[in-house]
């Protein structure tokens, strides 16, 4: 039986330096500290979060959270998704039935007209579907449920306070019927317990039938100390035969990661199953397009492209898109990239993204190293602002609009470059005003690899 301790907080809104590429969220909040769901693997038990008392029984309720949120949202200058889930609580744990902090905070968010992403393992969120639908119509909303397994025996042992997996799936289906975009977080997949090929396949098939728009996956972290001790006690009661293997998997990594081989095996397995069921492994672009700052939107697209390449085992030289993503709050779109904003064609026209997609579509390596990492530092004459109808190396706002992902794609197609001092003609492979960059040619997207990934890529290559 949980004990509720009412407290008052000094602040409630957490602002991240960069937008999270997993949840596409800029802000977050913990309305409670401690969680009655009492998941055995919960990262919130770790000492670094400084949650006092019994994590699953001593619940601290921040009674002034709605008032704080209203005041702090008034000072927010950058638009972005607010993540309602928290690292040390579930916003819809049983305490919410009594205190209704989450609903009152959602009402404040609705007043401010900001987008929201809710993540939960509780069916109580069904109570607030009307409010989420209203937020979605106005600013955008996403509802996600997390699953470590679809097997109810596993859920009862490792997620004793959570709603049954079938109930979560039912709520996702209800939300979809109301027009609310939904997703599934297949994490953490518990090693040796719920990460087998058969278990993951059943889980992926179930969330697909529930109509989710995306499914993210990930392995389990286990930090040394209170979190690891609690999990090992639970594991020892149910699967004592796995204790030695876990000792080898988790060897005191700073962030609680298992061995790299275990994560790679899980990633390959999940990626294959998501391809088969046509589910994007990241939040599709159309769910956050126009709802975050444009520089953040570009950074998210680049980060997702990078992730897709990694899933295919392709080395992205220098992890270039990660560098674009990290300074996202201060990133200024260079004039050479402004054609992607007006009249909003697809991300293929962004310098660097187009090159990467050529590598992705053709399955080969780029002819020369990507130079996009220095694009923002160049001070050449062609950087001067051009009209929206100008063409660079044959790229115009009209000709650059992407067709569907199942058709052939052409980046910087025809006509003559309009950059000053550039004499490159149509069809040439380089531009004299920027000799270190090469021009992608038409690529056909009908290959075997593309046939598998086209639905996933189409989610990110929709027009902005």
Is residue 175 pLDDT above 50, yes or no? yes
170 three-state secondary structure:
helix
Query: Can you give the pLDDT at residue 316?
Result: 61
pLDDT, the chain, mean:
77
pLDDT band of 274, cuts 50, 70, 90 = very high
DSSP class of residue 128 equals: G
Which residues make beta-bridge pairs with 430? 438
Q: Higher-confidence residue: 263 or 455?
A: 263
User: Residue 365, class by beta-carbon neighbours within 10 Å (0-12 exposed, 13-18 middle, 19+ buried)?
Assistant: exposed
Looking at residues 371-389, what average pLDDT do you find?
42
User: Residue 344, class by beta-carbon neighbours within 10 Å (0-12 exposed, 13-18 middle, 19+ buried)?
Assistant: middle
Taking each helix axis from N to C end, the angle separating 294-311 and 353-362, rounded to the nearest 10 degrees, works out to: 20
Query: Can you give the pLDDT at residue 217?
Result: 95
Report the C-alpha gap between 21 and 59 in whole angstroms: 30
144 three-state secondary structure:
strand
Query: Can you give the pLDDT at residue 105?
Result: 97
pLDDT in tens, 99-137: 999 999 999 999 999 999 999 999 999 999 999 999 999
In the chain, count H helices and then E strands: 14, 12
Q: Higher-confidence residue: 325 or 158?
A: 158
pLDDT band of 317, cuts 50, 70, 90 = low
Which domains does the chain show, CATH number per domain? Answer: 3-276 (3.80.30.30), 294-460 (no CATH)
What is the pTM (predicted TM-score) of this model? 0.71
Q: Higher-confidence residue: 163 or 354?
A: 163
């Amino acid at each position: 039986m949980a004990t509720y301790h009412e407290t008052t907080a000094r602040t409630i809104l957490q602002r991240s330096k960069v937008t999270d590429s997993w949840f596409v969220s800029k802000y977050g909040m913990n309305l409670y500290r401690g969680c009655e769901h009492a998941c055995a693997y919960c990262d919130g038990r770790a000492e670094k979060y400084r949650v006092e008392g019994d994590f699953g029984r001593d619940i601290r309720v921040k009674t002034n959270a709605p008032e704080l949120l209203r005041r702090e949202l008034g000072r927010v200058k950058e638009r972005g998704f607010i993540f309602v889930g928290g690292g040390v609580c579930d916003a819809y744990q049983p305490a919410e039935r009594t205190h209704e902090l989450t609903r009152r905070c959602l009402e404040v968010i609705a007043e401010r007209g900001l987008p929201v992403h809710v993540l939960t393992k509780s069916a109580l969120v069904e109570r607030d579907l009307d409010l989420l639908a209203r937020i979605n119509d106005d600013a955008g909303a996403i509802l996600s449920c997390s699953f470590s397994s679809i097997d109810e025996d596993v859920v009862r042992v490792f997620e004793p306070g959570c709603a049954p997996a079938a109930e979560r799936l039912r709520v996702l289906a209800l939300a979809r019927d109301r027009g609310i975009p939904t997703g599934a977080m297949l994490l953490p997949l518990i090693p040796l317990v719920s990460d087998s090929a058969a278990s993951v396949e059943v889980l992926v098939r179930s969330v697909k039938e529930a109509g989710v728009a995306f499914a993210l996956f990930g392995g389990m972290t286990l930090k040394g100390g209170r979190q690891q001790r609690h999990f090992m006690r639970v594991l020892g009661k149910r699967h004592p035969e796995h204790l030695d293997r876990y000792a080898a998997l988790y060897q005191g990594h700073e962030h609680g990661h298992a061995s790299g081989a275990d994560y790679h095996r899980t990633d390959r397995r999940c990626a294959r199953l998501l391809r088969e069921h046509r589910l994007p492994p990241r939040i599709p672009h159309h769910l956050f397009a126009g709802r975050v700052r444009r520089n953040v939107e570009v950074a998210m697209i680049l980060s997702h492209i990078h992730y897709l390449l990694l899933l295919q085992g392709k080395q992205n030289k220098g992890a270039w898109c990660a560098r674009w993503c990290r300074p996202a709050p201060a990133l200024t779109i260079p004039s050479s990239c402004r054609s992607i904003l007006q009249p909003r064609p697809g991300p293929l026209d962004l310098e660097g993204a187009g090159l990467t997609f050529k590598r992705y579509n053709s399955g080969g390596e780029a002819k020369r190293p990507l130079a996009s990492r220095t694009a923002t530092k160049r001070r050449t004459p062609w950087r001067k602002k051009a009209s929206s109808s100008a063409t660079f190396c044959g790229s115009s706002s009209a000709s650059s609009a992407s067709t569907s992902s199942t058709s052939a794609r052409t980046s910087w197609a025809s006509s003559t470059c309009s950059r000053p001092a550039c004499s490159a003609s149509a069809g040439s492979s380089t531009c004299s005003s920027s000799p270190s960059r090469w021009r992608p040619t038409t690529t056909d997207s009908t290959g075997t690899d593309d046939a598998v990934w086209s639905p996933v890529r189409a989610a990110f290559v929709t027009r902005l």
